[in-house]
């Protein structure tokens, strides 16, 4: 029984010793032996007198204070009346010596304590502590309050006071400290840096600190420029580290829709232009980065725009008299009246003249056409020339609508233009070819040239240079002829990747006005209006609004007195939209 008790007592002592060993604060030693050493030093007050009864701590220089339970004290002592202190049995390594007394403090860093020696620490003076304010950042959208700020070789650690990343190191002795910033979030490496505290000062860091990101960066610096004249949104952003990012995707949100990627291919630069916005719609843009493994990161902060136009809609004229022909055209005289072929369901069989209010003034030509009136043009003397379908002829009326003359043409024509000498140009269609024909104002043939047929309903106009521009939206080109009917060149105008070819008018400066129609769905189309100069340079765009082709269609556009008149066939009436030209065009 006694033997059992002795064994029990012995085991209890062993377990107690193991427990004591485990609970003892074991210092984190530097590299080297664990041979006990001694160090001595001295502290002074600011006035030079010995700092008696000051508390002194010896902390390994790379000690991580860490959050959680209070860290243990490596060793501590108190100065004597002469301000002297000493430590015995410190393991070999580098130590910071911190002194405290009456709200004053000192910091003596990186003292190496070798083995089996007595080390003298250079004297230090306790002073008023200082503080430092700074900002530590993560990637946009990540919460900075997940960051820990650890001051190595001390017991000081903190976290930012807000999600922006503002942090403060307060009541610290003067000196330079090794500080580590780390976050509980993935995809970040720690940031190690040195920060300096000045005695009695509250300093602020000049620069924002950023924790290194090892994931896919969120693009920053996204900005937007909107050109109201061209209706183009240009995005730009800060280019990320190319070792982390190989390109970017552009996302756009329209009104209450979801974000949709709009770039057909990965963007490798840091700019992107969007020319597909719809007038008067609001948009938000965000971008993402894509890494070398084709993984896409988070979306950036958004930028917003409303796609207004530099072309102001100044009037909308509703014309509801009669039934417009299947292919609507209109002309304007010097009194700003509209001359429109009207009819009973087929092509037109008379011309109706409307004023700017949309009221009918008069009609003429009835009896000269049998629902085959195609289009009308006027010359410098306000005479009206009309081409027909079934009877293949041109009919001329004076400014009051009185019939003057008519002449036959080889075949039907849906294109006519009149130059400043009142020469009449038409394109006459056959199954095999087209003929560009020139007549004088009395219908006398001047010349004719044949060329291959181009299907489609374009328009022919004459520029201020006297050249003839014939557009056909089937072969996506504009053929240019000289006034003597000789071939000059062929134009292909492009906006982005889309060819524009349905020319509608040309102004006194030789600028082309073009209506373009893009199919969006089975019935929905986007109507846009473009201006190109005589050299084919894109100058402006407006419109790009959605229409249902079962309800609306654009037929004609005329430039008069710094205004653009656009005819919209709404099936039940004609709407002429009037836009003012911008001063900076």
* Domain of residue 231, CATH code: 2.60.40.10
In a domain, 423, yes or no: yes
Residue 325 and residue 293 share a domain? no
Residue 492 and residue 347 share a domain? yes
Residue 501 and residue 395 share a domain? yes
Show the CA angle centred on residue 382, arms to residues 377 and 387, nearest 5°. Answer: 25
Q: Which of 125, 144, 159 is the last residue of a domain?
A: 125
In a domain, 230, yes or no: yes
Which residues are paired to 209 by β-bridges? 136
**What span, in angstroms and rounded, lies between the C-alpha atoms of 166 and 159?**
9
- The closest alpha carbon to 568, from 523, 521, 529, belongs to 529
* H or E stretch at 182: strand 175-183
Q: Which two tokens stand for residue 289?
A: 């980065």
Residue 205 and residue 94 share a domain? no
Q: Which two tokens stand for residue 228?
A: 């109201």
Residue 557 and residue 427 share a domain? yes
User: Checking DSSP bridges between strand 415-418 and strand 424-429, what pairing results, if any?
Assistant: antiparallel
CATH (domain of 136): 2.60.40.1120
Taking the alpha carbons at both ends of the chain, their separation in whole angstroms is 113
- The closest alpha carbon to 38, from 114, 96, 100, 95, belongs to 114
Residue 228 and residue 199 share a domain? no
Give residue 344's pLDDT. Answer: 61
In a domain, 487, yes or no: yes
Residue 203 and residue 282 share a domain? no
Residue 50 and residue 152 share a domain? no
In a domain, 468, yes or no: yes
Residue 269 and residue 186 share a domain? no
Q: SS3 sequence, 485-554?
A: CCEEEEECEEECCEEECCEEEECCCCCEEEEEEEECCCCEEEEEEEEECCCCCEEEEEEEEEEECCCCEE
Residue 154 and residue 100 share a domain? no
Give residue 316's pLDDT. Answer: 92
In a domain, 12, yes or no: no
* Residue in this structure with the two tokens 């004023």, named with its chain if needed: 355
Give residue 11's pLDDT. Answer: 33
Q: Which two tokens stand for residue 94?
A: 């580098």
DSSP readout, 416-449? EEE-TT--EEEEEE-SSEEEEEEE-TT--EEEEE
What range does the domain containing 97 cover?
24-125
Q: Which of 210, 234, 262 is the last residue of a domain?
A: 210
Neighbour count for residue 32 (Cβ, 10 Å): 14
Provide the residue-wise pLDDT of the chain in tens; the chain has 585 residues: 333 333 333 333 333 333 333 333 333 333 333 445 678 999 999 999 999 999 999 999 989 888 765 555 578 999 999 999 999 878 888 999 999 999 999 999 999 988 777 889 999 999 999 999 999 999 877 899 999 999 999 989 999 999 999 999 999 999 999 999 999 998 899 999 999 999 999 999 999 999 998 889 889 999 999 999 999 999 999 998 888 899 999 999 998 789 999 999 999 999 999 988 988 899 999 999 999 999 999 899 999 999 999 899 999 999 875 555 555 688 999 999 999 888 765 556 889 999 999 999 999 998 888 777 878 999 999 999 998 877 788 999 999 999 999 999 988 788 899 999 999 999 887 767 788 999 999 999 999 998 877 665 678 899 999 999 988 755 567 889 999 999 998 887 776 656 666 778 899 889 999 888 777 788 788 888 899 988 888 899 988 777 777 777 777 889 998 899 998 877 778 889 999 999 887
* Residues contacting residue 328 through CB under 8 Å, at least 6 positions apart: 340, 341, 555, 556, 567, 569, 574
Residue 83 and residue 57 share a domain? yes
In a domain, 541, yes or no: yes
pTM tops 0.75: no
Pair 285, 233: CB distance under 8 Å? yes
Q: Which two tokens stand for residue 163?
A: 């999600």
Distances (CA, A) of 489 to 279, 456, 461, 468, 485: 34, 19, 15, 11, 12
- Give me the number of domains the chain comprises: 4
Residue 172 and residue 139 share a domain? yes
CATH (domain of 466): 2.120.10.30
- The closest alpha carbon to 367, from 406, 324, 424, belongs to 406
Q: Which of 100, 125, 150 is the last residue of a domain?
A: 125
Give residue 91's pLDDT. Answer: 85
In a domain, 331, yes or no: yes
DSSP readout, 113-165? E-TTSEEEPPPEE-B--EEEEEEEE-STTS-GGGEEEEETTSS-EE--SSTT-
In a domain, 248, yes or no: yes
Distances (CA, A) of 242 to 220, 251, 314: 14, 21, 50
Q: Which two tokens stand for residue 437?
A: 């024909």
């Amino acid at each position: 029984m006694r033997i059992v008790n002795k064994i029990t007592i012995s085991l209890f002592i062993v377990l107690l010793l193991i427990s004591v060993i485990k609970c003892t604060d074991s210092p984190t030693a530097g590299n080297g032996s664990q041979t006990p050493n001694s160090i001595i030093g001295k502290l002074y007050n600011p006035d030079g007198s010995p700092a008696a009864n000051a508390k002194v701590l010896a902390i390994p220089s790379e000690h991580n204070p860490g959050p959680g339970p209070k860290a243990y004290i490596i060793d501590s002592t108190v100065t004597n009346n002469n301000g002297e202190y000493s430590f015995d049995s410190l393991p070999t390594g580098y130590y910071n010596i911190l002194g405290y007394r009456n709200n004053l403090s000192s910091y003596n860093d990186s003292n190496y304590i070798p083995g089996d020696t007595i080390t003298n620490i250079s004297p230090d003076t306790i002073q008023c502590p200082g503080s430092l304010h700074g900002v530590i950042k993560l990637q946009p959208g990540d919460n900075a309050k997940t960051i820990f700020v650890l001051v190595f070789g001390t017991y000081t650690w903190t976290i930012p006071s807000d999600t922006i990343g503002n942090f403060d190191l307060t009541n610290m002795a003067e000196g330079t400290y090794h500080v580590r910033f780390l976050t509980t979030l993935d995809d970040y490496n720690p940031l190690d840096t040195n920060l300096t505290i000045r005695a009695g000062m509250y300093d602020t860091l000049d620069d924002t600190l950023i924790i290194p990101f090892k994931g896919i960066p969120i693009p920053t610096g996204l900005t937007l420029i909107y050109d109201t004249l061209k209706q183009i949104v240009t995005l730009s952003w800060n280019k990320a580290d190319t070792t982390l990012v190989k390109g970017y995707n552009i996302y756009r949100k329209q009104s209450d829709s979801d974000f949709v990627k709009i770039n057909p291919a990965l963007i490798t630069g840091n700019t992107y232009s969007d020319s597909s916005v719809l007038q008067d719609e609001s948009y938000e843009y965000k971008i993402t980065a894509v890494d070398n493994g084709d993984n896409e990161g988070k979306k950036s902060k958004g930028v917003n725009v409303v796609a207004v136009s530099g072309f102001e809609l100044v009037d909308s004229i509703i014309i509801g008299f009669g039934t417009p022909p299947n292919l609507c055209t209109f002309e304007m005289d010097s009194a700003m009246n509209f001359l429109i072929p009207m009819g009973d369901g087929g092509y037109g069989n008379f011309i109706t003249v409307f004023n700017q209010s949309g009221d009918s003034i008069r009609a003429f030509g009835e009896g000269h056409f049998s629902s085959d009136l195609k289009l009308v043009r006027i010359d410098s003397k306000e005479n009206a020339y009309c081409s027909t379908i079934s009877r293949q002829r041109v009919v001329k009326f004076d400014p009051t609508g009185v019939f003057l003359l008519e002449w036959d043409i080889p075949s039907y024509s849906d294109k006519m233009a009149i130059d400043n000498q009142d020469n009449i140009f038409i394109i006459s269609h056959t199954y095999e070819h087209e003929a560009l024909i020139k007549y004088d104002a009395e219908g006398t043939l001047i010349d004719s040239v044949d060329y291959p047929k181009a299907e489609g309903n374009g328009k022919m106009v004459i520029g201020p240079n006297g050249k003839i521009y014939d557009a056909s939206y089937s072969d996506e080109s504009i053929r240019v002829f000289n006034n003597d009917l000789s071939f000059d060149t062929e134009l292909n105008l492009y906006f982005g990747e889309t060819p524009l070819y349905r020319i509608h008018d040309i102004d006194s400066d030789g600028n082309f006005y073009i209506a373009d129609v893009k199919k969006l769905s089975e019935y929905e189309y986007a109507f846009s209006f473009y201006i190109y100069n005589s050299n084919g340079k894109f100058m402006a765009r407006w419109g790009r609004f959605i229409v249902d082709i079962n309800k609306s269609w654009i037929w004609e556009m005329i430039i008069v007195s710094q205004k653009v008149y656009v005819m919209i066939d709404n099936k039940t009436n004609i709407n002429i939209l009037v836009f003012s030209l911008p001063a900076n065009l």
